[in-house]
Structure 1
């Protein structure tokens, strides 16, 4: 078997299957074990107990799938054609949803395409042990992507590529054949601190290290409890995830727009008015979010996140009325509704004001960084 030729063929197949970049690496991630353990020991994973539960298995792909000697790492771009960054950030009565979640959930699509890639490889070799992963197992996908040459780890901990920025999903295909490996990219962040200084909650505590407990994406998606008041104003109108560290990154000037229909903004999110979203019944929420990553947080957490955004919006009788109508559904939700009502009635912050980080972010986006179709 000419594995060099097979590797080239794999990259061609992957492109045909909708991936924008492919790299291959070995399974040795031992250099990341100490930093992973330090991150876990510090409690930076918050209440994501599954991260600690699997321990160092995350850094040992060959234990996850015995016999694995190579990882095929893939990238699929997701930036939607109608990203509307500045419009949603500047309109405080509208919701901001992380751009990866505007369309359909990516897990099934990326995994299915990886499975097809594995089947194509299987047809070319005598025997193949393989398994696709897309956030579906304890595996350090970003270090693998870096090692496979898909990019370098930015100071926000995301993978950056000089030609594509960071608006892409990652996936892995573990295989047991000795494919030639690719060279890692050189880190090109330099002295830039834009992602660190622009984080609304100061969650990036040092280069490449994020304290999830302070991260808006964690707080609005992974965390299902009472969000500390310390973070509520900083959350602003971000009701699902946060893109700020990507929005300010200079490398995202070069981010291509996704051609995948599944990743385009769904119709019900094209005018994300806070009051309208807040008044969705649970049945409406589940129906509108069918096939969306947002659906998994559930209706109560959806309402919790929106209530915080409503508390940060300019005073509106419609907002106050909507908040009052939702009281008494859930004790945890009531805590956030009461806070939001207080902010509305007391107008804290002052009507029309936006915190300085938000103002800076909007100015950057309006200048065309990153591309906003």
Structure 2
């Protein structure tokens, strides 16, 4: 049955893998091994203890497998901010724009395909996506601890699903890093906050720029972060755009959005989503950034100050 599902997923331009549900216990052990092997920081403990959900949910069907689906994202989206007579163009990692829409779209077409065949699927967004993708053979880690999938590079979304599809072949793989990472330090040298470590598999995500620029604007950037480090409205692309494994995936046409002076002013004021004009709200939602709108005032002010406006 999974071969038919694989064909359907491929028809949508996406790539799947599958694991028997029994492997969830091994994933739990992987997490425990991380706790033992590494001195985890507070943010890593938060992800493991509060974000991940490794217990099976109650469903109307018997969960027999986990399907992982990788969908390609454009490598970035451009946003043009008009302010004080100048235009400042900033990138946004495109995974923000389809972080919600990609799994929703995949779940919808899977349900439409499986329902007539009396099979079921339900999204499992709080499973450890990268770990499952690597363990199932769908992807491999980069030195930057991001997951890469052949044909997509790291510009992708990984969507996990519980299903009652039988898994007759176990594709369980060792946790591995891409072969091309051996001897390469491009991402280490290009990381603006030195969060990618040469002697450790996990990055120091408490130093990662994304950790700081996704926070509410009431939290200022630490003084040790150089103003030149800021390269995106939210998130950071430095470790991905420098990566040799991504070069061939960075030629696609880039979509852009324009924010007028009035709209930029509203974002700088720190207005909540419900206070924004309908047109501005729609732009923010299309970019998938509604959750981070409170981070915009600080991020924009720092970048505008650097540009002398």
Distance 1:8 1:101, change over 3 A: closer
Larger helix percent: 1
- Work out which of the residue numbers 155, 165, 170 in structure 2 matches 1:181: 170
Alignment of structure 1 residues 17-56 onto 2, 5 Å = 18-26=12-20, 27=24, 28-37=26-35, 41-45=40-44, 49=46, 51-53=48-50
Q: Distance in 2 between matches of 1:257 and 1:183?
A: 33
For the structure 1 residues 40 and 25, does the alpha-carbon distance in structure 2 shift closer, same or farther, using more than 3 Å as the test? farther
Match of 2:134 in 1: 146
- 2:213 touches 2:299 (CA, 8 Å); kept in 1? yes
Unmatched segments (≥5 aa) in structure 2: 80-85
Instruction: Work out whether 1:74 is the aligned partner of 2:69.
Output: yes
- Which of 186, 192, 209 is matched with 1:200 structurally? 192
How many angstroms does 1:249 deviate by?
Answer: 0.8
Partner SS state of residue 30, structure 2: helix
Alpha-carbon distance in structure 2 between the residues aligned to 1:248 and 1:207: 20
Larger strand proportion of the pair: 2
* Matches for 1:81-230 after TM superposition, within 5 Å: 94-100=88-94, 104-125=97-118, 128-133=119-124, 136-137=125-126, 139-179=127-167, 180-182=169-171, 184=173, 187-188=178-179, 189-205=181-197, 206-222=199-215, 224=217, 225-230=219-224
The DSSP-based 3-state class of the residue aligned with 2:42 is coil
By how many angstroms is 1:312 displaced? 2.1
Alignment TM-score, normalising by the size of structure 2: 0.76
Q: TM-score, normalised by structure 1?
A: 0.64
- What is the aligned residue count? 281
> What is the RMSD of the two structures over their aligned residues, measured on CA atoms?
3.3
Counterpart selection for 1:293 from 280, 288, 297: 288
Contact 1:96 1:240 in 2 (8 A): no
Max Rg structure: 1
Contact 1:44 1:211 in 2 (8 A): no
The answer for unaligned runs of 5 or more in structure 1 is 1-5, 86-91, 320-373
